[in-house]
A and B are shown apart, each in its own frame.
Chain A
Amino acid sequence: MAELYQTQRAMRNMRRAALQRGVIGILDIGTSKIACMVLKFDGTGTFRETDGVGPMAGQANFRVIGAASTRSRGVRRGEIDTMAETERAIRTVVAAAQKLAGVRVDHVIACMSGGRPASYGLNGEITLQSGKVTEHDVASVMAACDTPDFGRGREVLHAQPVNFAVDNRSGLGDPRDHAGNRLACDMHVLTIDGDLIGNLVQCIRRCDLELAGIASAGYASARASLVEDEQELGSACIDFGGGGTSVSIFVKKHMIFADHVRIGGNLVTQDLAQGLRVSLPVAERLKTLNGGVEATGRDDREMIEVGGDTGDWEADRRTVSRADVIGVMRPRVEEILENVRQVLDAAGFDHMPSQQIVLTGGGSQIPGLDGLATRILGPNIRCGRPLRIDGLAHQLTDPSFSSAVGLALFAAHPQDEWWDFEMPADAYPARSLKRAYRWFRNNW
């Protein structure tokens, strides 16, 4: 894990350097669209109270100065499939956002949803030598967490300390300076396929950009669409994306579980295209303009011209009723929700104190989805839009941009992760000068 620690630390340093320069880019690489935002940091919070956006929970120290989104290319199920195509899409969106912002972006923070995320709850425990929790005790308790075998080629994406316990007192957010003899820690670790990160790094490098951070899309969209109380009391955020549906569970403002269901909106489009015998763009249009999950009597009468340019008059003049569209969409949406239900059951969401579920992502705009989700997932459901951030254009505030907005919040205020703490001295190689320095600093 030492290598991972170093790369993540390097990314944190790059993020700090970018904040110093004041400009950082946000890159949300999804299956259906790629969004890029250029954030300008001023550090002191000069951007306040503009167009009705007040200082929101300390998120007012940046503003969006350029944002663009484009159709994604070369991405399948949240994973980069064709590198060159994805690179072109990234170039398109970055060039457009840069043009709007008028500044050059050198550092980007990216998120992806795929890569089969797997979350692990780890715990570690150490004996406190000094009878008091010091800074390096926190680092060593995190290093003492017993890591299971993540599998071959898995990389840790997030490793967040969720809970600390000193002796019998549990639920501490910050254990420093607590007196006690024993320090225990619960850590949530999210791993994804290492190849995915490698491909992402490669794509971004080829666009002359530097990767200053990487996050899971489910985590990012939950940060944008869950309000503070929901994060505190416990809730699940379900991000309906094009290539997959991300599920993340938050409690006490920490992500404790994340998973990914590999069925998304693209499959619904594919179903429509197959079921109604239309081309994929037409099916996409039908889904977005006339889609739904609850058929009413009126929908039988509402006929939609399918259109087409096959040259066959009969085929081009076909019409389908909206009920047909709903009839094709609903089973697939139900399947997605059933899968989400399984994931939530596996995570033990039933035992959470509050069972709020927030639907977000582009798929959550299907009319009637919340009613269907109530039947399958549970009673407390709402459709969430991302938090308003300063300077973001209105057309980029719909739920499909929640992971981009969450990534902006992540760029401004990242939560503590394992690599934010100094590594304990014994993790350095022996005979290292750094190790001697650390030993002196901790013991004198």
Chain B
Amino acid sequence: MSVVIDHRSRNQAEQPSRPKRDPAPSRLKYRLERMWLTPLYRRLVRVGLPAFLIAMTAGLWLADEGRRAALSEGLAGLVERVQNREAFQVTMMTIEGASPAVDKALRGMLPVDLPASSFDIDLAALRLQVLQLDAVESIDLRIKPGGILSATVTERQPALLWRHARGIDMLDKSGHRVASVTSRDVRPNLPLIAGDGADLVTQEALALIDAAGPILPRLRGLVRKGERRWDVILDKGQMIMLPAEGAVTALEAAIALDHAQDMLGRDISVVDLRDPSRPIVRLGLDARNTLRTARGMLPLGPDGKVIEERKGG
């Protein structure tokens, strides 16, 4: 049995006669490398191709009706699960500053039954809806931590009663309707105004009522005439006709006359101040008859048998 001893050096023994590798890239590899370095191609492969594959896969997957429905259902379920979490639940509603009627209306307006998810309550829409109530001037709606829907209501304060063809309304200072009342006696403490367009000038009406000071106990109301000027109606059928401009000044002038000469205590039915430079008074029936009698003329009844020339209307 013979053993062959390898006397060659290690390098030679281990290296089989392998051809030396050519460092040059092959033609194909060279061309592919150059193609890869082309910007358009590079962008196409790195962006276009993945995008196309993703779109294609998604499109093929979604082509089936059932899978599409399942997907949208799953998404909706996920959204619902998140929205119905305990942290988003609204359990109660607190209302501040509202009268019982408004409170009841407000609770009725809430679109969902409590407890509900806060995602189901559209606060902006609810606020606009509440603001359509005449009695509510402003409302501050918010969802407080702890699942409380808090509403802070500012109600309109009635300042006037307005009698018009369809009934009697309460108006606030700016002339906005607050509520209707069935009769004058419900709110005896509020001054009364009447006539078309009276609700548009409530500021002036309130100023006139303020200016009426001393004759306030006798004041029955204000009447808007021709949407232009005011008549002040007093008891005992007396009336002060005020001009369109400077009504408060004219009324103060009338009150001054009354104070100086007790004008309104006399038998005068109408004080006509429509032309402030020329105040006119109309005598009452008794006073006129007294004067006629003193002149030896027949007294006239209220229906007026003798046609008198009227001075001023």
Contact = CB atoms under 8 A, between A and B. Distances in A.
Contacts of A88: 22, 24
Interface string A405-426: 0000000000000000000000
Contacts of B46: none
A10 to B, nearest CB: 23
Tell me if B's interface is mostly helix, strand, loop or mixed.
helix
Interface string A54-98: 000000000000000010000000000000000011011011001
Contact of B24 (A92, A99, A102): A92
A208 interface: yes
Contacts of A103: 37
B81 to A, nearest CB: 49
Interface string A370-388: 0000000000000000000
Contacts of A89: 24
Contacts of B38: 104
Given A70-B23, A91-B25, A92-B25, A311 B8 contact: yes
Contacts of B39: 104
Interface residues of A, number: 16
A309 interface: yes
A14 B119 CA distance: 67
B23 A207 contact: no
Counting chain A CB atoms within 10 Å of each CB, the highest count among B11, B23, B29, B39 belongs to: B23
Nearest to B8: A311
Contact of B30 (A70, A95, A102, A309): A95
A98 B9 contact: no
Nearest to B30: A91
B31 interface: yes
Contacts of A94: 30
Given A88-B22, A92-B24, A102 B12 contact: no
B275 interface: no
A99 B33 contact: yes
Contact of A208 (B12, B22, B25, B34): B34
Contacts of A104: 34, 37-39
Residue of B11, B29, B30 with most partner-chain A CB within 10 A: B30
A104 B38 CA distance: 6
Contacts of A311: 8-9, 12
Nearest to A88: B24
Interface string B20-46: 001111010111011001110000000
Contacts of B27: 91
A91 B33 CA distance: 11
Contacts of A207: 30
B24 A91 contact: yes
A280 to B, nearest CB: 15
Contacts of A70: 23
A92 B23 contact: yes
Contacts of B9: 309, 311
Contacts of B11: 309
A414 B38 CA distance: 28
Nearest to A90: B24
Contacts of A92: 23-25
A88 B25 CA distance: 7
B34 A98 contact: yes
Interface string A147-180: 0000000000000000000000000000000000
Interface string B215-232: 000000000000000000
A99 B8 CA distance: 41
Contacts of B31: 208
Interface string B182-224: 0000000000000000000000000000000000000000000
A207 B37 CA distance: 15
A240 B38 CA distance: 38
Nearest to B41: A104
A95 B8 CA distance: 39
Interface string A190-225: 000000000000000001100000000000000000
Interface of B: 8-9, 11-12, 22-25, 27, 29-31, 33-34, 37-39
Given A104-B38, A311-B8, 4 more contacts: A88-B22, A92-B25, A95-B33, A103-B37
23 contacts: A70-B23, A88-B22, A89-B24, A91-B30, A92-B23, A92-B24, A94-B30, A95-B25, A95-B33, A98-B33, A98-B34, A99-B33, A102-B37, A103-B37, A104-B34, A104-B37, A104-B39, A208-B30, A208-B31, A309-B11, A309-B12, A311-B8, A311-B9
